[in-house]
Amino acid sequence: MRLRWQFIRSPALPESAQWSRLLGYLRPYRGWMIVAVVAMVIGAALGLVMPLAIGQMVNLITGDQTLPIGRIAVLLGGVAVGQTVAGLIQNYSLTFVGERVVADLRLAAYQHLQRLDLAFFEQRRTGEITSRITNDVTLIQSTVTTNLTTLLQGMIQLIGAIALMIVVSWQLSALALVLVPTLVLIAVFFGRWLRRISTTVQDRLADATSILEETVSGVRVVRSFGREPYEVERFRTAVEATFAAAMRRAWVRALFQPSMSLAVWATIIGMLVVGGYLVSTGELTPGNLVAFLFYAGIVAGSMGAFAGLFGQVQEALGAVARVFELLDQQPAVADAPDAIPLPPVQGRVEFRNVSFAYQRVENGHTAPIVLRNFSLVIEPGEMVALVGPSGAGKSTIVSLIPRFYDVQDGSVLIDGYDVRRVQMQSLRTQIGIVPQETLLFSGSIRDNIRYGRLDADDAEIEAAARMANAHEFICQLPEGYDTPVGERGVRLSGGQRQRIAIARAILKNPRILILDEATSSLDSESERLVQEALERLMVGRTSIIIAHRLSTIRRADRIAVIVAGELMEIGTHRELLTRGGIYARLYELQFRDPAPVLAVG
């Protein structure tokens, strides 16, 4: 089956709409931005005074100025100090705003991820999602702060410098302004090119990040198959693709700046020639020529900054589109507008004519239906086991109870409440799940057990561990309950991880319990300890068990046999054996051959 790994593309927002949305993240910090802008305006204005003071100094040296040198020196020193202080205030304010915007964007993206349904994560690579929250958000940082004030500062300096240039010499000003349309054309051409290439760079970087995440999380599989060289080569290919895209971007940037510089220097040389002639004829003083050249440099610098800024913005807009594309993903499973909190339940679970298919793509066609008109009622406190061939739909059935997915037809009800009509948080807090592959979070054993109820105290955590047959092995660890479990719990054995998961479920104290092959892949001693813990956990709860080993479900109140998404048989262990149907054949096959050819998990 080929899954759609890519993000579902939503219609691209116009650039103006993207900018408006991005600038919305600045609003909470507009006070800091005002401080930065005021400091920037003061610094820009002082920068325009500096060339005049330098020109007066030159005129003094050449005998064309009678202003005392001390006064000129004080003016120059005051301008320099003022610019330094203004720059300090501006840079600190912008850094604060930039870091806050990045933090807010990352938090908004992460919060949105927590609202998305499981299908979203099943169809996308973890590295791709991670890249959008880390690399892309970082690329946006300068766009909403430094680039914005650079634009404003450049506008002030450009307008002020052009006005003063005209005052000093209109002839040279006319020559200088020839540069403007040339710079605009160069900036537009290269800017659009840079945007396309930068988006490609981010995509290739996301591919490399995905491979890195997969191989780190699956390091045991890589080691067991001896695939280190293969993974290195796969990662090298992705890194080289990123490098090639980055070098194409570097080549465009390398062409961009020299092209701008060539246009700027051609105009400066022309101004020097014409300005020298005007000085020789007495139409312009040497000091005014020097001041004019400084202003021309400010104009050229501002235009060059605009060009560079335009290129950076085009690059960032690709990252902006990727981040907003993530934020615009809509969950397929969400609370209805009129959803109500689910009150404390007794634990009656009903599947009423349920049909379901995963929304995946296989050779361009929707995957086949997994459940067909499936109906089953589980009474409060009852223990029901689900058995059947692999792919029969057992895991799908239990996934519909906490509403990890929504049914296409029919309904799933808990105590008569349709799960689609209640708030998911109130639903899931009353359901406990112990899966086959237990995931523990990096941190201590205490933290992982407390995850079942965050306000639990140490005594309650220890009590849950005792019920889960985990207290004894925990106390034998060097740091006891404070022992770090490692990423995904790699420092613990499978049986130990499973007992920690059971303790976590005990602490949660759910009314409905789902056990998805919770004792498979364990050795006999670990299975015994886990089974004892599970029996304590199931007392007084509605329990739904997916079992691989039929010996573990003999005491179930009822056993439901699922084949191809349909309920084929249901009854007690003895009843089903007496009937001699599918369950009897599965049971005979499993206990006749210790390595059954037909999996029932």
Asked whether the predicted pLDDT for residue 417 surpasses 90, the reply is yes
Segment 280-337, tens digit of pLDDT: 887 888 888 888 888 877 876 776 677 667 667 766 777 788 888 888 888 888 888 9
How would you classify the pairing of strands 361-362 and 512-516? unpaired
Segment 37-91, tens digit of pLDDT: 899 888 888 888 888 777 877 777 776 655 677 777 787 788 888 888 988 998 8
Asked whether the predicted pLDDT for residue 413 surpasses 90, the reply is yes
Domain 435-509 falls under CATH 3.40.1080.10: no
Q: What does the mean pLDDT of the chain come to?
A: 80
Residue 377 pLDDT: 93
Average pLDDT of 416-423? 93
Nearest residue to 530 (alpha-carbon basis) of 494, 491, 484: 494
Tell me the helix, strand and coil percentages in the chain, rounded to 5.
65, 10, 25
Segment 109-123, tens digit of pLDDT: 888 888 888 778 877
Segment 342-391, tens digit of pLDDT: 999 998 999 999 999 886 544 455 567 889 899 999 999 898 989 888 88
Distance CA 300, CA 183 (A): 9
CA angle 178, 179, 182 (to 5 degrees): 110
Q: Concatenate the DSSP letters of all residues of 348-361 into one string.
A: -EEEEEEEE----E
Domain boundaries, the chain: 15-327, 345-430+512-522+541-601, 435-509
Query: What sign has the CA pseudo-torsion 464, 524, 543, 574?
Result: negative
Query: Same CATH topology for 345-430+512-522+541-601 and 435-509?
Result: yes
Q: Which CATH architecture has domain 345-430+512-522+541-601?
A: 3-Layer(aba) Sandwich (3.40)
pTM: predicted TM-score of the whole model, two decimal places:
0.66
* Domain 15-327, CATH: 1.20.1560.10
